Structure 1
Amino acid sequence: MRLARIIICGLTLLLPFNTLLAQNPIIKHIFTADPAPIVYKDTLFLYTGHDTASTTATNYKMPDWHVFSSTDMVNWKDYGTVLSPNTFSWATGDAYAAQCIERNGKFYWFVSTFHKKDSNSNGGAAIGVAVSDRPSGPFKDAIGKALITNEMTTDMKHSWDDIDPTVFIDDDGQAYLFWGNGSCKWVKLKENMIELGGSITTFKPEHYIEGPWIYKRKGMYYLVYASAGTKPEMIEYCTASNIAGPWTYRGIIQENVPNSFTTHPGIIDYKGKSYFFYHNGTLPTGGSYRRSICVDYMYYNPDGSIKKIVQTTEGVSRVK
């Protein structure tokens, strides 16, 4: 009887310990980066890059994009390699940050990679768009050419400024694309999501470097981004009452992440809570070119400002 009580007490102690086991990083079987979450039909889908560089590499090797899904924020299904630069006949190079959005029953995945030197471009970073009938694919090139090429933006003189697209559909149905390294650019999209609906505007929020994430909450527009105020990167943000600006700088919300000089925001509300996705380099053999996606809770102050993100190894709790 005494032995049975000891076993029961031991199991009781283990139960809360198991719930506190480290969830972060949330994807452990491969290296992932640049998280982009969306919610569709009660499921959270997470679109990611895929780091495959060696432990001694001094640059990125990102051959493809993956899709994961979860209904409880703890267990994640990997759909495997769903898209790669090879999908686009005009593309070459790595699979950089990307974001997917649903409209009228189709899923549009805006991706950044590099353009081949051909009659349409002299090369450099470019943004393409893939389309699918399902959030998990299969995806195909939606237009057979790049949506944004390096020649379309000239304010930055380096060739990799057209990266990191983030896409948003406003309450009135107007879609917007934001992107950029060194400066932030934005443009309206037509309802079909595969054509530009106006001219490109360029601006530079305070400390901005790359990785923008655009969204709206309670009538306020938020532009969250990786900052250049220090290396490694941090996440800062600005807000506006109009998506065209002016934008008001609001400060730092995420400090440097462990073992990676980059970080990248992905923000979503799901089942009554706000979540902040990012990447770091904390998996075994991880680093700046072998990153891993994490998620922690995100909280707002009564005035709509964002509280500092608390980075944890525990991550977030399971939801029903």
Structure 2
Amino acid sequence: MKQLLAISLCFVAWNAGAQVKKNINLNPIIPDNIADPSLVMFRDTFYMYATTDVDHGLAKGGPPVVWKSVDFKNWSFEGVLEMGMDWSKGYAYTNEKGEQRTGYFRYWAPGKPIRRKDRFYLFPTIVTPDDKVGTYVVESDNPAGPFRFINGDGVHFPAKDTDAKPIVNDIDGEPFVDVDGRTYIFWRQRQAVEVSDDLQRQVSKVITVPTLHGAYSEGPGMFRRKDIYYYFYTQSGDASYANAYMMSRKTSLDGFEVPSGKNIFIRSDTATGVWGPGHGNVFQLPGKDEFVFVYLEYGEGGTTRQVFANRMVFNADGTIQPVIPDFKGVDIFPSKRKATANPFSGAVVTASSIRKDRIVKGTIAPDPDLARTTKGLSTLKVERTATYLPAHTVDGSNGTRWRAETNDIKPWIQYDLGKVKRIGTIEMFFVFPAYGHAWYLEKSNDGKIWTRCATQETVAVRSPHLAKNIGKARFIRICVTEGEPGIWEIKHKP
């Protein structure tokens, strides 16, 4: 236990140090609080679908968005993923006790989209304001939407006149298309079924996938490699999240065997400081025997999670080598990473206010593989500190950010570049970008006389926000007029 605390305290010191060093790690891969990722590649573009976390627990989620990238390093999105729902509106309803309540539509854990001809089918879990859940099928002619329900105009709710039926009356539906073209859906608690070609109904009996570990399970998935089917599923939750798997050499619904060696292929690692590798997805690079596991990480607890990625490597017998969750991440296309001079490198960064540190505590359960055979194992308590320093916006990390105090009515952040430099385009990755931001940007050569050179007057939902053709300046100041006053990262394009 003392050794674990020492490791945790070292991680805290690095994160909260007064001098913020440039980060060369690639995890988290996206500057936003998102979870339950599904990663696909259509043509030459990566698409990341995920739950949008907004630190409000499970009663309210953020609007869904689709992050895109061509190099697996620089990600962006433009607008909310349209499905005909108002995710920010509270709807009144009467519960079973006759009590008046208000709730929200929520978009969770979108199952990996599939493409058929020129149509794209996505499998989100949608929770209605009265907490009814289901996995629905929505379609579009563009992987970035807008999407429509394939068997109705919307999700049934007393305040709405439209109706659509879920393909599964539960959460975390994940599709799998076999080599023969047949489609299956897997969902929480090890459930699975074959569905029709039009994706509108179940066509087989629901089966329960047999697994070694029997605790509550969600975030399942299925993939195929070299004639072996792999079923993976979560165990535990929060900082104790882990992922286990089974193998089958028969079909995607039977013949499952416990793999030799470790059944848990990824779990918390106190040495690297990564906690709770939970609901994730397996991505295969097109045409290659290369696999990546993308997954949620604990973040600051609750619904403040972020997405990490690490390589998945196989042994000669097809079993999965333990995946080490770390901040290093995966550099899929190193040749596409062009090094350019960054005028913000080494800048002195100040702000109108800085939010107080957040103490983050977690509990890590014993390795489920060991717990089955070893007595006396106990849980480990861990702790980390989240800081919100202005300098975090130029440290190169998608996991650190500046945040202003909640009572700061005129929040701003300022960069002193040390001398006058020529600035091209500034990319601003705001905190909680799915809710949108308005802002203006000023420049100065002496810190006294300021010129406004870029403005977003109305709230725009995107990330990053761009300020183009800035010109010569020593000082740059960004003033947030609407939206969450915080920034993950500032990047520069010549």
Shift of 1:83: 4.4
Tell me how far apart the structure 1 counterparts of residues 238 and 211 of structure 2 sit (CA, whole Å). Answer: 15
Q: 1:276 aligns with which of 293, 302, 311?
A: 293
**Structure 1 pair 298/75, CA: closer, same or farther in 2 (3 Å)?**
same
Structure 2 partner of 1:201: 207
Structure having the higher Rg: 2
- What TM-score comes out, normalization by structure 1 length? 0.77
CA RMSD of aligned residues (A): 2.8
**Structure 1 pair 234/196, CA: closer, same or farther in 2 (3 Å)?**
same
Q: Find out whether 1:147 has 2:166 as its counterpart.
A: yes
**Structure 1 pair 94/195, CA: closer, same or farther in 2 (3 Å)?**
same
Structure 1 partner of 2:116: 103
Matched-pair contact (CA < 8 Å) for 2:29–2:308 = yes
Pairing of 1:303-318 with structure 2 (within 5 A)? 303-318=317-332
Shift of 1:110: 0.7
Tell me how far apart the structure 2 counterparts of residues 261 and 295 of structure 1 sit (CA, whole Å). Answer: 13
Name stretches of at least 5 consecutive residues in structure 2 with no aligned partner: 1-20, 88-102, 153-163, 337-494
1:33-75 superposed Cα distances (whole Å, 9 cap, x missing partner): 0010112113221111100125xx5x46323322122222211
Pairing of 1:108-147 with structure 2 (within 5 A)? 108-115=121-128, 124-144=132-152, 145-147=164-166
- Matched letter for residue 287 of structure 1: G
Structure 1 partner of 2:302: 288
- What TM-score comes out, normalization by structure 2 length? 0.51
Q: Find out whether 1:253 has 2:262 as its counterpart.
A: no
Tell me how far apart the structure 2 counterparts of residues 262 and 81 of structure 1 sit (CA, whole Å). Answer: 27
Q: Secondary structure at the match of 2:255?
A: coil
Shift of 1:240: 0.8
1:175-215 superposed Cα distances (whole Å, 9 cap, x missing partner): 111112xx211111211223322332234423251110111
Shift of 1:246: 2.6
Tell me how far apart the structure 2 counterparts of residues 71 and 164 of structure 1 sit (CA, whole Å). Answer: 27
Q: Secondary structure at the match of 1:210?
A: coil
Q: Find out whether 1:72 has 2:67 as its counterpart.
A: no
Name stretches of at least 5 consecutive residues in structure 1 with no aligned partner: 1-16, 118-122, 151-161
**With CA pairs under 8 Å and 6+ residues apart, which has the higher RCO, 1 or 2?**
1
Alignment length (residue pairs): 277
- Matched letter for residue 115 of structure 2: E
Q: Relative to structure 2, which stretch is displaced further, 224-233 or 273-282?
A: 224-233
Structure 2 partner of 1:166: 174
Structure 2 partner of 1:225: 233
Structure 1 partner of 2:281: 266
Shift of 1:127: 1.3
Tell me how far apart the structure 2 counterparts of residues 270 and 167 of structure 1 sit (CA, whole Å). Answer: 18
Matched-pair contact (CA < 8 Å) for 1:124–1:149 = no
Matched-pair contact (CA < 8 Å) for 2:276–2:296 = no
Shift of 1:26: 1.0
**Structure 1 pair 187/247, CA: closer, same or farther in 2 (3 Å)?**
same
Shift of 1:311: 1.4
- Matched letter for residue 68 of structure 1: W
Q: Find out whether 1:243 has 2:255 as its counterpart.
A: no
Q: 1:35 aligns with which of 28, 34, 37?
A: 37
Shift of 1:299: 0.8
**Structure 1 pair 25/125, CA: closer, same or farther in 2 (3 Å)?**
same
Structure 2 partner of 1:50: 52
Shift of 1:262: 6.5
Tell me how far apart the structure 1 counterparts of residues 241 and 149 of structure 2 sit (CA, whole Å). Answer: 32
Shift of 1:165: 1.0
Q: Find out whether 1:188 has 2:194 as its counterpart.
A: yes
- Matched letter for residue 285 of structure 2: Y
Shift of 1:229: 9.4
**Structure 1 pair 249/124, CA: closer, same or farther in 2 (3 Å)?**
farther
**Structure 1 pair 96/262, CA: closer, same or farther in 2 (3 Å)?**
farther
1:256-289 superposed Cα distances (whole Å, 9 cap, x missing partner): 276765711211112543111011134xxx3231
Q: 1:26 aligns with which of 29, 38, 41?
A: 29
- Matched letter for residue 137 of structure 2: V
Tell me how far apart the structure 2 counterparts of residues 314 and 294 of structure 1 sit (CA, whole Å). Answer: 9
Structure 2 partner of 1:216: 224
Tell me how far apart the structure 2 counterparts of residues 25 and 211 of structure 1 sit (CA, whole Å). Answer: 19
Tell me how far apart the structure 2 counterparts of residues 298 and 175 of structure 1 sit (CA, whole Å). Answer: 24
- Matched letter for residue 147 of structure 1: P
Q: Relative to structure 2, which stretch is displaced further, 260-269 or 35-44?
A: 260-269
- Matched letter for residue 186 of structure 1: A
Matched-pair contact (CA < 8 Å) for 1:259–1:287 = no
Shift of 1:221: 0.7
Matched-pair contact (CA < 8 Å) for 1:268–1:275 = yes
